[in-house]
Chain A
């Protein structure tokens, strides 16, 4: 098989891919949303998927999350997955810690929940009701709920889209930190080019149901957002997304 051959040749790929998607096809009625998508994500790799509204990026994420089970093609994902959505989606009738522990049982899970809440900086909010949280706190609680499952694949569907710019920057730093500690594979779906470049190892662009660009991100350690590499890649991606130079 082609994939086996490629993994055998590629010295970098010691372990098999965490996510392997081949010829993924998906339609909603007459609307052909995904047209034969191929996608591999290595264990521990952070991939950002960019696309304009309606490009099918959320659909792809939903398929990988197991929320959409009707599609053509093949997709294999790790068993332990977690999803964070654009809205924090906390159950209003459960306290923050109970929300984090949703679907998890036992004392070990509870200890892990408390620890994870501390990791995202919400240790003192464990007993708070969700409606008392700010937008950023809600999203941090949602991240804790995802991480407490110790996922091998973390799926993020525009998780910072509804946050203000300052909170978003702080959340970026937090996500990078959490990822460095837990090392899940990450698929971050976003329409924010700078967010994608700042966070991911690899950025892809989905255009009209196909992956039209797949680029590795290599930025200097120091002040990566101010580097010329950052600006170059951002411009390339904006171009791919159809944003004219005068609009950037």
Chain B
């Protein structure tokens, strides 16, 4: 019989693994750093003309100037306000409709069909109609965000309620929880993970919709800042706007995840200890 030796790789030290993970995280930055460096070199050598794309150093300078004059903060605040208002309303509407459709047969019949049909319409296709209804004020931007964000929250929350294990409903009966207890202790907490999935989609979508609506008809907001920069061919300011949008998306997603982790500590996740 031939035997083979099993290689002894020794014991795995958790601390060294953690240190390696931290290093691995830094390695993620290598790609972006190289890219920005190439971009800077391209701009310096004239390979990338200033009117096509400003150099990273120019972008940083433009960002600093916008911060100094306070224009960036001013427009950022306006955009944040719109996103927050639209998101709050949209998420509220989506969650409410999902719960009604999830709990009542009549609600399901009345709500789910129309929602599935409306869901097929891209929110941005509503821009002309929204302008006819609301003019070009704040309402139109908030309306578009509400419309776009209600659906992911509705769809995911509704699916979570529908997908709850019926054995839990049986348990609720043997524990004599009653209808209200079933809803409060079983259905709503069980639907929360689905709700958060929807919320994360909704948050991402809210920026998307805001970008477009602020570029079409606005006198304030990050989108307006970028449109204005376009008329003066200030590519540096446009890139600043792009970076801000990117950061907003990133930060808001992290924030929702953070809240999710706090609200749902019972979930079996790989992140959980």
> Which A residues contact B (CB, under 8 angstroms)?
65-67, 81-83, 85, 87, 89, 91-95, 102-103, 129-131, 145
- The residue of chain B having its C-beta at the shortest distance from the C-beta of A87 within the complex is B167
Name the one of A67, A91, A95 contacting B185, with C-beta atoms under 8 angstroms: A91
The answer to whether A103 and B181 have CB atoms under 8 Å apart is yes
Name the one of A67, A94, A130 contacting B173, with C-beta atoms under 8 angstroms: A67
* Extra inter-chain contacts (7) besides given A94-B189, A129-B265, CB under 8 Å: A66-B174, A67-B174, A93-B192, A103-B172, A103-B176, A103-B181, A130-B266
Which B residues are in CB contact (< 8 Å) with A83?
174
Q: A94 CA to B190 CA in the complex, in Å?
A: 10
**A-side interface mostly:** loop
- The residue of chain A having its C-beta at the shortest distance from the C-beta of B188 within the complex is A93
Which B residues are in CB contact (< 8 Å) with A130?
266
Report if B177 contacts A (CB, 8 A).
Answer: yes
CB neighbors of A among B128-179 (8 A): 167-168, 170-177
Q: In the assembled complex, how far is the CB of residue A85 from the closest CB belonging to chain B, in whole angstroms?
A: 7
Interface residues as binary, B67-96 with A (CB distance below 8 Å gives 1, 0 otherwise): 000000000000000000000000000000
The answer to whether B167 and A103 have CB atoms under 8 Å apart is no
> Which B residues contact A (CB, under 8 angstroms)?
167-168, 170-177, 181, 185-186, 189-190, 192, 264-268
The answer to whether A102 and B268 have CB atoms under 8 Å apart is no
Which A residues are in CB contact (< 8 Å) with B189?
91, 93-94
The answer to whether B173 and A131 have CB atoms under 8 Å apart is no
Given contacts A129-B266, A131-B268, contact A91 B177 (CB under 8 A): no
Name the one of B167, B172, B267 contacting A85, with C-beta atoms under 8 angstroms: B167
The answer to whether A102 and B266 have CB atoms under 8 Å apart is no
- The residue of chain A having its C-beta at the shortest distance from the C-beta of B167 within the complex is A89
- The residue of chain A having its C-beta at the shortest distance from the C-beta of B171 within the complex is A89
The answer to whether B168 and A102 have CB atoms under 8 Å apart is no
The answer to whether A131 and B175 have CB atoms under 8 Å apart is no
- The residue of chain A having its C-beta at the shortest distance from the C-beta of B168 within the complex is A91
Q: In the assembled complex, how far is the CB of residue B1 from the closest CB belonging to chain A, in whole angstroms?
A: 33
Q: In the assembled complex, how far is the CB of residue B20 from the closest CB belonging to chain A, in whole angstroms?
A: 27
The answer to whether A65 and B174 have CB atoms under 8 Å apart is yes
The answer to whether A93 and B190 have CB atoms under 8 Å apart is yes
18 A-B pairs, CB-CB below 8 angstroms? A65-B174, A81-B174, A85-B167, A85-B171, A87-B167, A89-B167, A89-B171, A91-B189, A92-B268, A93-B192, A93-B264, A94-B185, A95-B266, A102-B175, A102-B185, A103-B175, A103-B177, A131-B268
Q: A101 CA to B172 CA in the complex, in Å?
A: 12
Which B residues are in CB contact (< 8 Å) with A131?
266, 268
